[in-house]
Amino acid sequence: MIGVSILFIVLGILIKYGKMYWLIAGYNTMPKEEKEKYNIEGIANVFRNVMFGMALIIISGYLITKITDNPNIQNYAFWTSMIVGIPYLLIESNSKKYKKNKEKTD
C-alpha cells in the first residue's frame, strides 16, 4: 500500500510541477483549440491535491494498522481513499470553474 501512496505522490508532482498534462486522461487527445478552453493549471492543482490527499489517507491507514495490529484498517483506508478521491477528482476537474470563458462583452 505504501507503493500506491508513493505512486500517487509522484503522479501529483509530475502533473503539477512537471507539467506532464498528458497524464490527464483525455487532455492529450484534445485539439489545441479545445485545450485553450481549459485552465489546465487549475486542473493540475486539483489533481495534485487529490493525489496527495489519497496518499495521506492510505499512509494513515498503514500507520494505524501497524499501531493497532488490525490489518482491516489498511483496507478500509485504501478503499475509502478510492471511493471518495476518484469521484471527487472527476467531478471537480470537469466542473465549469476550470473552463475559460471566451465570451466577449461589448
**Predicted confidence (pLDDT) per residue in 38-81, tens digit:** 888 988 999 999 999 999 999 999 999 999 999 899 999 999 99
Q: What own/partner pairs with CB < 8 Å and gap ≥ 24 does 26-35 have?
A: none
Alpha helices in 30-104 (DSSP H): 32-35, 40-68, 72-93
Considering its fold, how many domains does the chain have in total?
Answer: 1
Q: Which domain holds residue 52?
A: 2-98
Residue 51 lies in a domain: yes
- 84, with CB counted inside 10 A (0-12, 13-18, 19+), is middle
Q: State residue 103's pLDDT score.
A: 53
Residue 103 lies in a domain: no
Residue 30 lies in a domain: yes
Residue 104 lies in a domain: no
Report the predicted TM-score, pTM, of the whole model to 2 decimal places: 0.81
Residue 105 lies in a domain: no
Q: State residue 83's pLDDT score.
A: 96
